[in-house]
Amino acid sequence: MKTEEVKKFADKLRYEAYRMVYEGGDGHPGPAFSIADIIAVLYEDVMKIDPENPDWLDRDRLILSKGHACPILYAALSEKGYYGESVEHFNLRKLHTTFQGHPVMGKTPGIDMTSGSLGNGIPIGTGMALAAKLQNKDYRTYVITGDGELQEGVVWEGVMIAAHHQLDNLTVLVDHNGWQSGGSLKETGGVDEIDSKFASFGWKILHIDGHDHAAIKAALMESAGQKGSPTAIICDCVKGKGLSFMENNNDWHKKVPTKEQFEAARGLIEEEKHEL
Amino acid sequence: MVQESVSFKEIIGDALIDLAREDSRVLVFDADLVNASGLRKFAEKYPDRLIDCGIQEANMVGMAAAASEAGVIPFAHTFAAFAARKCVDQIFLAACYSKLDLKLIGSDPGVTAATNGGSHQGMEDMGILMGLNNITLLEPSDGILFRWMLREVKNTPGVFYIRTNRKEERKLYEGDTTFQLGKGNVLQDGRDVTIIASGIEVYEALDAAKLLEEKGISVRVVDMFCWRPVDKELVIRCAKETGAIVTAENHATSTGLGSAVANVVVNNCPVPMEFIGVTERFGEVGSIAFLQKKFNMDAQSIVKKVEIVIGRKGGRQA
């Protein structure tokens, strides 16, 4: 486990995503911070990728079903070298930008699948994983889905058929932070007992702290060894994790920091410690 | 033209078996309709290459398009009534916008769903998809054309939707006929009016042309099997050369072939137009012929529209 590297990487991603939203004047920092540690472990320590060859056919795939969290993914791709030097100004959500408010494959190198219409990541991941099996390819397909978007019916169509085809090359990470745009999942309803829902369809279930890098790595390794069924890793996450004033504050679902709030972040996410 | 019947249900199974034999990338998805669609034959021949997703059309479309990212050529089938209504978001996101491949087939469009009644008579499938980008919309009138279409979309990267009758239909084309994507076929030439038709309405148009011929009206008949992109050049030529157009489709006139043709006509060469198709109503139980008559889509109804549109030529009102 690249413990120290992953820690630095996660901090850097948070800082870059925050800066991206601040400079772009638009975006979703809370959802991005929620999955920062998952993205950091995947890209720094697990996924088989080649930043110089983003379309490499045998690479692992990541589908960010909750596309609005993309600043953290853009930051990861930039840090991994998909754009040569790290991107100085992403121009997130600005005119003519490469970095739209939701990911677009073909437009932004390193983006493995277009998203932005919630609920589609699992069906799409199921198709990619099925195609890999049929073509005897050994890449893995990872899907990061929000917990709120599990309200979409098509999610469960995908969950059902992925289990039927025993897609053990498919790993779904559920960003279980308990919030959606309009409020808490408890208020909206319908997304209780996520573990048993997936389990009842025949999925392997792992339930971890979504900010514990070692636990994320261990779960991903366990899912890679799983035979005969897809794996759902339910990740207990804190929306806005990493900045005390953002954590569990749903106002930060979509919000641009003020200059003071942006400056405050430098120390809080330990950006300076790593001389970034 | 040869007058013998041919079953589209037979064709789809045979044609996809041929394509799968020739190209190992071909993968077929269905949504619990392998018996109804004629794909049972394919499933028996290539059990590992037919993915029956069960009753979940939206997921099927998302999966199929995504599978193309890994290099397969995905065909997917459901009834036309469900292909667009249930799957438009997946067609948009996973196929069109992502610039992936999808060859979606919707069977039993419009009144050809016959005794299945209103729920299954998709009058709006093409209209729902007409507003998307990066998609080609097709409807064969004949088995030879349908076979060509399946091969052509297999060989052409991109997103295609083919709505097709599943039942028997007369034969229209000879086996060696050549077609081109985006180009309509002039089936017979004429001077006074053009009937631009598609699918089962092509036969009504040809029958109407005969009846009109007896009345001394010379009719051009076009099989416009590609609705999007519609053959702009041919539409303009027909408008200029015949001075009036009647469109005939087994679909809602508000969003279908007629509106696509009207868009070209209005923008390039305004001439009087009339429209045959389904207008402001749901389907109902009946034979295809019964429903065509009831919904004013039969040859007699086309004759009436032609007489009206000719009356409007030169600024005259009917």
A266: closest CA of chain B, how far (Å): 36
Q: How far is residue B140's CA from residue B147's CA, in Å, rounded to a whole number?
A: 9
- Reduced to 3 states (helix: H, G, I; strand: E, B; else coil), residue B176 is coil
> Tens digits of per-residue pLDDT, A221-275?
999 999 999 999 999 999 999 999 999 999 999 999 999 999 988 876 765 555 4
Helix (H) or strand (E) holding B251: strand B245-252
**Exposure of A186 by Cβ count < 10 A (0-12 exposed, 13-18 middle, 19+ buried)?**
exposed
User: What is Dmax (Cα atoms) for chain B?
Assistant: 62
Q: Is A55 helix (H, G, I), strand (E, B) or coil?
A: coil
- Closest-CA distance, A54 to chain B, in angstroms, reads 13
For residues A111 and B104, give the distance between their C-alpha atoms in angstroms, rounded to a whole number.
25
Output the six-digit token pair for A165: 């085809």
Residue B173 reports pLDDT greater than 60: yes
- CB contacts, 8 Å: B62 with chain A: 120, 123-124, 126-127, 154, 158
Q: For chain B, what is the domain count?
A: 2
Amino acid at B44: E
Query: CA torsion sign, A225 to A231 to A237 to A241?
Result: positive
The last residue of one of the domains, among B113, B142, B170, is B170
B44 C-beta neighbours (distance < 10 Å), count: 12
Q: What percent of chain B is modeled with pLDDT above 90? A: 90
**Helices B57-68 and A121-134, axial angle in degrees (round to 10):** 50
pLDDT digits (tens, 9 = 90+) for A32-51: 999 999 999 999 999 999 99
| Helix B8-22 / helix B143-155 crossing angle, nearest 10 deg | 30
Please indicate, yes or no, if residue B255 is contained in any of the structural domains: yes
Q: Write the CATH number for B37.
A: 3.40.50.970
Instruction: Tell me what pLDDT residue B252 has.
Output: 97
Q: What is the pLDDT of residue A262?
A: 94
| pLDDT band, very low/low/confident/very high, at B170 (cuts 50, 70, 90) | confident
Q: Do B111 and B295 touch, CB atoms closer than 8 A?
A: yes
pLDDT at position B316 over 70: no
Q: What is the ipTM of this complex?
A: 0.88
Please indicate, yes or no, whether residues B162 and B239 belong to a single structural domain of this protein.
no
Strand pairing category for B5-7 and A179-180: unpaired
Residue B1 has pLDDT above 60, yes or no: no
Write out pLDDT tens, residues A174-222.
Answer: 999 999 999 999 998 879 999 999 999 999 999 999 999 999 999 999 9
Q: Which of A257, A259, A258 is nearest to A240 (CA)?
A: A257
Residue B318 lies in a domain: no
Mean pLDDT, rounded, for A89-95: 92
Is A54 a residue whose pLDDT tops 90? yes
Looking at the structure, tell me whether residues B218 and B163 fall in a common domain. Answer: no
Is there a domain that residue B218 lies in? yes
Is B88 domain-assigned? yes
Please indicate, yes or no, if residue B176 is contained in any of the structural domains.
Answer: no
Confidence band, pLDDT 50/70/90 cuts, at residue A62:
very high
Query: What is the residue range of B199's domain?
Result: 185-312
Q: Is the pLDDT of residue B166 over 70?
A: yes
Token pair belonging to A4: 């120290």
What is the nearest CA distance from A55 to chain B, expressed in angstroms? 10
Lowest mean pLDDT among A58-62, A113-117, A186-190: A186-190
pLDDT tens-digit readout, A162-171: 999 999 999 9
Q: Are residues B155 and B257 in the same domain?
A: no
- Lowest-confidence range among A76-80, B111-115, B298-302? B111-115
Query: Which pLDDT score is estimated for A270?
Result: 60
Judge if B12 and B144 occupy the same domain. yes
Do both B88 and B197 map to the same domain? no
Query: How many percent of chain B have pLDDT more than 70?
Result: 97
State whether B10 and B130 are in the same domain.
Answer: yes
Q: Longest C-alpha distance within chain A, in Å? A: 53
Query: Distance between CA atoms of B63 and B57, rounded to whole angstroms?
Result: 10
Same domain (yes/no): B160, B124: yes
pLDDT of A73-86, one tens digit each? 999 999 999 999 88
Residue B72 lies in a domain: yes
Which residue, B123, B147, B170, sits at the end of a domain?
Answer: B170
Write down the pLDDT at residue B5.
60
Helix%, strand%, coil% for chain A, nearest 5: 45, 10, 45
Same domain, B37 and B158: yes
pLDDT at B167: 80
Q: B63 vs A124: CB contact, 8 Å cut-off? A: yes
CATH number at residue B197: 3.40.50.920
- Burial string for A86-125 (b: 16+ CB within 10 Å, else e) reads ebeebebbeeeeebbbbbbbeebebbbbbbbbbbbbbbbb
Q: Do B98 and A113 touch (CB under 8 A)?
A: yes
Pairing relation of β-strands B102-107 and B73-79? parallel
Q: Which of B63, B67, B97 sits opposite A114 (nearest CB)?
A: B97
User: What is the predicted pLDDT for the residue at B315?
Assistant: 66
Q: Is B90 within 8 Å of A105 when comparing Cβ atoms?
A: no
CB contact B79 to A (< 8 Å): no
Which residues from chain A sit within 8 angstroms of residue B66, using beta carbons?
A: 113, 123-128, 131
Are residues B142 and B52 part of one domain?
yes
| H helix runs in A25-69, sequence order | 29-34, 36-41
What pLDDT sits at residue A276?
41
Helix (H, G, I), strand (E, B) or coil at B168: strand
Angle between helix A3-24 and A259-268 (nearest 10): 180
At the second CATH level, the architecture of A3-274 is 3-Layer(aba) Sandwich (3.40)
Q: Which residues contact B86 (CB under 8 A, 6 or more apart)?
A: B57, B58, B78
Nearest to A154 among B59, B70, B72 (CB): B59
- B99 in any annotated domain: yes
Which residues 84-113 on chain B approach chain A with CB closer than 8 angstroms?
A: 89-90, 92-94, 97-99
How many CA atoms, within 13 angstroms, populate the side-chain half-sphere of residue B13? 19
Smallest Cβ distance to B93: which of A112, A114, A135?
Answer: A114
What is the structure's pLDDT at B164?
A: 94
Same domain, B42 and B153: yes
Say if CB B158 and CB B184 are below 8 A apart.
no
Q: Which of B170, B196, B224 is the last residue of a domain?
A: B170
Element (DSSP H or E) covering residue A184: strand A183-184
The dihedral built from the CA positions of residue B197, B200, B206 and B207, taken in this order, carries a sign that is negative
* Binary contact (B63, A161; C-beta < 8 A): yes
- A65 min Cα distance to partner chain B (Å): 12
> What is the band of B62 on the pLDDT scale with cuts at 50, 70, 90?
very high
Query: How do strand A61-64 and strand B193-197 relate by DSSP bridges?
Result: unpaired
Q: Do A127 and B63 touch (CB under 8 A)?
A: yes
Active-site amino acid positions of B = 57
Q: Is residue B317 part of a domain?
A: no
pLDDT in the model for residue B2? 44
